[in-house]
Chains A and B, each alone.
Chain A
Amino acid sequence: MSFSGKAAIAGIGFTEFSRNSGVTTLTLALRAIRAALDDAGLSPDEVDGVATHRVSDSAASMTVAQAFGIRDLKYFIDHFGGGGSSHQVIGHAAMAVTAGVADYVVCYRAINARSAFRMGGTGRGFVDSPETQYQAPYGYYTPPQQYAMIARAYMDRYGANERHFGAVAVNQRANALLNDRAMMRKPMSYEDYLASPWIAEPFRLPDCCLETDVGVAVVVCSAERARDLRQRAVLIDGATWGGGATLYSIGEPDLNVSGARHMAPRLYRMAGLSPADVDVAMLYDCFTFAVLLQLEDYGFCARGEAGEFVLSGATAIGGTLPVNTHGGFLSEGYAHGMNHVVEAVMQLRGQAGARQVKDARIALSTGAPGYVGGVTSALLLRGDA
C-alpha cells in the first residue's frame, strides 16, 4: 500500500528571511506555523502533530507542541539531520496522516543560521561524524570544501567549467528579482559572478548558499481534509528518502554518484511519473554544483550534460524545466530545504506572481543529494485538479 496522492500540503507559512532575526528559533517556528495555519484556514487548536529536522540548532518539536498548548500530541518527529532530511520530514507527516495517526501535522524548519549557528562555521564544534577526525588536521571540514572536492572531480571528468556554475547562479539571481521574499535583490551578471571572491575553489561566493535567519512551515493533512480547506490542495504523489555512501565512507569509489541518483527512480515509480512530467523543479542548491548534479540524478539530462542544459536557458522561467524559481538558497535564502517546498506549492497553486510558471501541475522538490551525511529525500507534488 502506498500513500501516494492520499496526503496533501494544505498550508504554507514563512517569516522574513534576514541576517539577524533578533528572536529565538522557537519564535521563528511559531510565527511560520501560525502563518501556515492561517493560510490553510485552520485553527491552531486543530494541530495534533509536529515535525522537524535540526542539527542541534532549533526548537524541538515537543517545545513547539507545548507552545501550542497541546496536551495529547498524536504525532511528532524530531529528526537529527541537515538538508538531506528536509523533505523526509514531510514524507513522514504524509505517512502519519494517511495512516490516521494524526489529522493535521505542522512541519517546520527554524534557524538563526546567520546570527547564531553558522553551518560548519564559527560558533560550532566539529560535527559528530566518524570521518571528521581524519579531515580536520588538513583544514578540511566545511560543506563548501566538501562539495568543491566533488565539483572539481566532475569538472575534470566531464569538462564542466565556471560558465556552467555561473549560469546556475545568474539564473537564480534573475528569479530572485521577481520574489519579494528574496534576500538578494541586486541584479548579477556573469561578469559580476566572475569578479566575485573565491571561497573554496572552484566555488566563488555566489556559488554558495546564503546563511539565513528564517522560519518556514507547511501543514500536512489527508487529501480529503485538504480539499475542505481554504487553498487549492497540493497532493504528495511521491515522497522518498534514503541514501547510503558518503564521499568518504566505504563502498562508493565514484566521487560523482550521490544518494539521490540511487533514490530518484524509486521516487518517480511511487508517483507514477517520469522526469518528462515535471513542470518545475526546486533542487537543493547548497552550492551551484549541487543543481547540476541533481539535474542529472533526477533524469533531466545525461551525466556531464547539466552545464550545457542550464546554459541553453532550459532552467530559466519560460524554459522547459524552470529551476529554483524563487532564487533558491543562493538568492532567496537558506531555510535548509523547506523554502523549496513552499515555492513548489506556490507554483502549483498559481500563486507565484511574476515568477509563475505557466500551467505548472507537477513539481519536484529535493533535499540535499546525500554526499555529506549520507541521507537524501525528495517530493513529487501535484496541484489538485
Chain B
Amino acid sequence: MTQVTDRPMLPADPDSSPYWEAIDRGELRVQRCTTCATWRWPARAMCNHCFGFDHDWPAVSGKGTVASWVRTHRAFLPQFADDLPYVTVTVRLAEQPDLLLVGQLADSHAEPEPEPEIGMPVRAVFRGVSEGRGLVFWEPEA
C-alpha cells in the first residue's frame, strides 16, 4: 500500500487546516457549530442549519460504518499504480448520518483486497504520524 508520504496531498485551506493539523497529530477532529451543535463536513465557515459562523473542532469518537466502497482497477492517479486493484470506502461517522468521509481500510495486504460489507462497523486508526504527515484509515471493529 502506498506510503502516506507518497500520496497526493492537496494544500489545506484556511477552512480545513484545523482538520489537517489534528490529523498530523493522530487526532480525528470535525468542525461543529457552537450555536446549534450541527457537525459540518467538509469544513466551511457557516452552519447550514442555523447559519451561524461560530464553531469549534471537537475530537469525534472515531467510530463509524462503511456506507459504500469501490474497487479501483485503473491508475487514475500514478501514485496508486502499484496498489491496483485497491479498495476505497466511504465511512459514515457515528456522530451524524451525513458525515461521509472517504478513506481506505488500514493495512490490507490481501490480493485482491477483501470486499468490505456495507454497514460494517469501523474505527479510525492513523498512519504516517511519526513521519510528520498523518492520514486516517479505518479498521474493522472487533
Contacts and interface: CB of A to CB of B under 8 A. Distances in A.
Interface of A: 120-121, 126, 130-142, 144-145, 148-150, 152-153, 156, 197-202, 247-253, 255
Interface of B: 2, 4, 7-13, 15-16, 19, 40-44, 48, 67-74, 76-77, 79-80, 83, 85-86, 88, 90, 92, 97-98, 100-104, 118, 135
B102 to A, nearest CB: 4
A205 to B, nearest CB: 10
Interface centre among A130, A152, A252 (most CB of B within 10 A): A152
B107 to A, nearest CB: 14
A138 B104 contact: yes
Nearest to A150: B68
Of residues B72, B80, B102, which shows the largest number of chain A Cβ atoms within 10 Å of its Cβ? B102
Contacts of A133: 9-13, 16
Nearest to A139: B80
B134 to A, nearest CB: 10
B42 A130 contact: yes
Contacts of B92: 253
A251 B83 CA distance: 33
B98 A139 contact: no
Given A126-B10, A153-B67, A248-B42, A137 B135 contact: yes
Contact of A145 (B4, B13, B72): B72
Given A140-B72, A199-B73, A248-B90, 7 more contacts: A120-B76, A126-B8, A137-B4, A145-B76, A153-B118, A250-B41, A252-B98
A299 B137 CA distance: 39
Nearest to B77: A139
Contacts of B103: 138
Contact of A200 (B13, B70, B102, B135): B70
Contacts of A134: 16, 19, 42, 101-102
14 contacts: A130-B13, A133-B11, A133-B13, A136-B10, A136-B77, A137-B8, A137-B135, A138-B103, A141-B77, A149-B69, A200-B70, A200-B73, A250-B42, A255-B90
Contacts of B83: 139
Contacts of A247: 90, 100
B101 A251 contact: no
